[in-house]
Every structure is written in C-alpha cells, then in structure tokens.
Amino acid sequence: MFPFNIKNYTLKEIIGKGAHSTVYKGCLSNNPSLDFAIKVVDKTSSLDSILLEADLLLRLDHPNIVPLEDYFLYSGKLVLVMKYISGENLKTVLDNRESFNEPEVRNFLIQIGSALDHAHSKNIIHRDVKLNNILLEKPRDGVLKYYLTDFGIGKLSSGVIFSKLTGGTYLYMAPEQIRGRPSYQSDLWSLGVCAYVLITKEYPFVGDNKNQLLKNITYNTPTLPSFINTDLKFELESIILSLLEKHLTHRLLSAQQLLSELKKGNFIVQKVKAPEKIFSFNQWENLQKKRIENFYFRFYFLVIPSVILWAINSLNPFIPLGAWLIYYGQKKGEFVKLYLGVILGIIGLYWRNLVIPYLVQFSWLDLGYILDIFLIFFIYLGIRNLIEARKIEYRIFFISTIRSSFKDTPKIIIALTNFIKINWLDVNLHQKLVEILITQGLYEEAIIEIKQILKVDEYNFPANLSLAYCYYEVGLYDECVLVCDNYLSIIGYCFEFDDLKNKTISQIKN
C-alpha cells in the first residue's frame, strides 16, 4: 500500500489514527528529504467554514505551535499538511514513564502558555487542549520542547464534535465549556488539567459515567496535587489550582497573566533545571501576609486622611462616621452597624447641598468641590488596595484550611461557615461552601446557603443551577422545574437547565 500519492505529497506510513481522521508521515513528491505530518479528515461538514478556519490558522507563527503548512480538498476529504515533529504526544509519553517533575511541568506551562497567548492574541480559542494534542519533541541538549497541535480545525469537523461528547475529552473541559460557552479561560482550565495530570498521573476530576464526571467538574474540588506528589512545592501548586478555579473571576484571566505569575516565581527557564528559588507553603504564606500588610497600609494611608479632609472641607461629620461603621460592620459581620453606616454615608453625600448653604457662606466652598473630586479618587485607590488585601486573605484562608483539614470535610465546612460570618457579602465564599455541601450530600443545607447567594445576585448562574440540582436530589421536582423555567426564560437555551428539567419531568411522570 505504501507509499502512495495525494496531490503533490507522498504518504509513507500511518503515525496516528482517530475516529474520523488519519495522520500520515509524508513528504513532497519532489523532495523526499523534507517530512510532513499529513492529516486526512474522513468525515467533514461545512467545508467552507473549515477552509476559512484553516486559512486563519496559517497566520499562526509560534515556536510551540505545530504550523499548518498547506491544506486542500482531495476526493471530498480535507487534507492538512503540518510540520513533522519527531516525538510522541504527551499522553503516550506519560503512559510510559513516571510523573513529570516540577521543573518539567513549569517548563511545559511556560511553553504551552506562550503558545496559547499567541493564539488568543489572534482571537483563536483552541477548545481541545489535552495531552493527546500536545507533542513532545525528542530532547536536544537537555531541552524538552512542547508543541500544541490540532488548533481549532476539529471543532468544525463532525467527527471531532462527536468525540467532544465522550468522557475522554470531557476530562479536560471547563465548566463553562460544558455549558457551551467556551472562552480563552477555558483553554487555561484545560492547560491546568494537563499540568495536574503530568505532576500526579491522575485526573483532577473523574467519574464512573458521563453524568458523574460532569457533576464532579461542576461541583467538586480536586485533591491537592501535593498530597499525591509530595515533592511538589506550593507556589507551582497554587498556580495549577488557580487554573482550575470553577469561577472565571477567580481563575487566571489570560495566558499572559499565567506567564506573569510564573515569572514572579523565577520560573522562566530555558532548560529543565531546578530554579534557584522555591517556596514552601509557609514561605509563600509569609510572603502573602507581607503583601497584605502593604495593601492595608496603603488603604489606611489613602482613605483615613481623605475621609477626614472631606469631612472638614464640607463641615460634614457624617462621612467619617459612616465610613467607619461600614468598614467595622463589614469586617465583624455586624449588619446593624453596616446599614447605619450606609445611611450616614448617604446623608453625608447630600449634606453640603442640603444644609451648608443655609448655615454658612464660605468663598472656599466652590474650591471645595474640586478638592472633593481628588479626595474621592484617593478613597477609590484605597478601597482597591483593601479589595486586593481581602482577596489574598481569602486565598490564604481557603488553601491553608484545605491543607490542614484535607479529608476532614466537616472541619472545612465549619471553617468556611465561620469565615463567611465575617465576609458575608462574598458570594464566592458562599458558592465554595455550596460546592462542598453538595459533594457531601448535604442538599438541604446547600439550599439554604444558595438562597443567601440569590439574595445578593438573583441571576447567578452557578447558584441557580445548584439550587435546581439540590431540589431534584431532595425530591422537590416542581421547585426544580420552576427554577429551570425561570432561568431558561432569561437566557433562552442552556444545556444544563434544559437537561435537568427534562430529567425531572421524566421523574415526575414515573
């Protein structure tokens, strides 16, 4: 059979085969010394869209992306001609060796993160980042080089769309991608799954069937990789876990931010070798606490003088008093003080216009309005620092709690509940508690917590989905259908709500 020709290329041997495509090692018929990887997609649809995507991929130019050299149609099949990489995909490599060490995983994240950053800058989302689609070239001079392949072509091929409905690809899918709304951050989630598997040889989320896998991806928190691979240092573990955050606001925002985080830890390396600086968890925690101190110092330095000057400038005692009550009430979870502070703050905002003109007339009042603008800006900067400090506090609390209470779920629930009493406005903390309650089968408790979330954000997607799911699990089928109908009336169509609604209706009929 071999060799045989397709257009200007000679195919030498099969080097890979999927459900609906075959990859051959081949060369130009007039230049046998130059090898290519030639992929023939057997079943295709929407050929115009596929060729448009292929034309777009020709614009990608990155050292860690397998370049598309040529493409054409042959006997009704799409043929993709790519650079030939002398190596194997990471899934095959990992199956035949021990887990990757920390420097290797860092180097992997740097190279593939850089490839994704380049692709995202061209408005291309990969959608199928997994170990099978990453090639490891045979190392030269101790350097491992990774290549990302299959960029976006398959998503328009009916064959690969079918494969995305199987558990194999779902293992790498982000929650929002399962819902049919992939984004750049979905690629980062998949990259995080790859890194997790490389360092542990285990998947962060598994299930006996597709539904169980989807439930675990949506609700479960993965086992800390350092409990599987005890050689893993905390700083890299923190980055991997940041890639696996379910909520987009907590996940790293971009591949560029990932590279920046790796750079902060002196992780940019050209060769696979241990970095000079590696943090333990305690070292990382101490470093973060120093950052918190700096943020709080800037907060107090900017806000307190500004509030006092603002009060003096407008002859207004309500501004500083209201600000103090808001801060103290929020920090201690004392709602009466918080609400009173808000009321005093509102009164203070209208004090100058409502009261001052009837009491005194000062020429500097006009200039005082200009001063107000600057003071408000300084207060805004101070609040930004306060928010950053609270984010770090939350991160330290949650990770340290999990590390100290691993497999002691009741202790984690108690710690989260106590932390929420202080940070009751933090919807993400409530959602994290809901995830843990659901995984423990504590659906009634989860329903109570979800309703607290919906008081703050009634259209919160994870909260509404969790509420419908909990209603289903406790047998409140009518309530489940009502939640699904209400949310579907807002967003139109959503796979999870529609599927859960149909399953609930079937249960009612039975």
Q: How many CA atoms lie within 13 A of 24 on its CB side?
A: 20
Q: Any idea of the CA torsion for 206, 210, 216, 222, to the nearest 10 degrees?
A: 20
User: Phi and psi at residue 236, in whole multiples of 5°?
Assistant: -70, -40
Coil, strand or helix at 31:
strand
460: left (phi over 0), alpha (psi -120 to 50) or beta: beta
Q: How far apart are CA 382 and CA 300, in angstroms?
A: 7
Q: How far apart are CA 378 and CA 146, in angstroms?
A: 47
Dihedral sign of CA atoms 319, 321, 324, 328 in order = negative
Contact 412, 405 (CB under 8 A): yes
Q: How many CA atoms lie within 13 A of 241 on its CB side?
A: 20
Q: How far apart are CA 37 and CA 87, in angstroms?
A: 12
Contact 10, 32 (CB under 8 A): yes
What Å distances lie between residue 98 and 85, 91, 132, 203, 418, CA to CA? 23, 12, 17, 15, 41
Q: How many CA atoms lie within 13 A of 230 on its CB side?
A: 0
Does 128 qualify as catalytic in the annotation? yes
List 37's β-bridge partners, or say none: 25, 82
List 468's β-bridge partners, or say none: none
Listed residue (337, 316, 317, 312) closest to 327, CA to CA: 337
User: Phi and psi at residue 292, in whole multiples of 5°?
Assistant: -60, -45
CB-CB neighbours of 324 under 10 Å: 15
The type of residue at 276 is E
User: Phi and psi at residue 412, in whole multiples of 5°?
Assistant: -65, -45
Q: Which candidate in 117, 128, 150, 187 is catalytic?
A: 128
- Chain centroid to Cα 26, Å, comes to 39
Q: How far apart are CA 442 and CA 216, in angstroms?
A: 15
Please list the active-site residues. Answer: 128
